[in-house]
Chains A and B, each alone.
Chain A
Amino acid sequence: MATLHLLSHSPFADSRLSSCLRLLSAGDGLLLSGDAVYALQRGTAQRQALELLPEGIVLFALDEDIVVRGLEDLPEHLHQVDYPAFVELCCRYARTNTWL
């Protein structure tokens, strides 16, 4: 069963995002919150990597973290979620993996 990966650290400061992307398997979800949503900034290598996610991987991000950072022009396949949906997702996947 699938895993929901939770990332909340800046994708520019360390290798969490790149490691996580290598570990994803079909059916997994990736949820960005906090500074991890900076990976959605257009024109970055991180955004490009997210655009190239395989079909079976679902990409989520916390909407208020996107809004406060003024990020625009987001990927089409991105699902923006609020906190209740965040909780619901954690229940829907068989497990969560938080990249602390």
Chain B
Amino acid sequence: MARSMLIISRQSPWAGPSAREALDIVLAGGAFELPLGLLFLDDGVLQLAPMQQAAAVQQKDLTANLQALPLFGIEALYAARRSLDERGLAEASLSLPVEVLGDDALSALINRYDHVITL
């Protein structure tokens, strides 16, 4: 029985390599058909902000990679409601369909997984 894993991504898409590395873990795990979840927490929810323009600083667009997640069979995608509210992001504007969870639901979510990795 494969062990399940929750990846918690909590850095903004522009703050260094953490956001992309968290995504790489998820995609690699997905390739091995591990039961995976991805939670966007704190500044990590900024990865879901609409209308980002990576080309303006000669970077690759993380949004396109994130939108590929459902194609790789990774559909357990979550975002923290408190983090979205603090950053003025409306659920309807996000670039990826995620389940938005309150604080209580977040602790329950973490408890459902065998392993947790926070980046």
Contacts and interface: CB of A to CB of B under 8 A. Distances in A.
Interface of A: 10, 12-13, 34-35, 38, 41-45, 47, 64-65, 67-70, 72
B14 A42 contact: no
A69 B88 CA distance: 13
Contacts, number: 52
B102 interface: no
Contacts of B12: 10, 35, 38
9 contacts: A12-B42, A12-B43, A34-B14, A35-B43, A41-B88, A44-B88, A68-B52, A68-B56, A68-B57
A47 B49 CA distance: 17
B49 A69 contact: yes
Given A13-B42, A68-B54, A72-B51, 18 more contacts: A10-B12, A12-B42, A12-B43, A12-B87, A35-B43, A41-B89, A44-B86, A47-B88, A64-B56, A67-B53, A68-B52, A68-B53, A68-B56, A69-B14, A69-B49, A70-B49, A70-B51, A70-B53
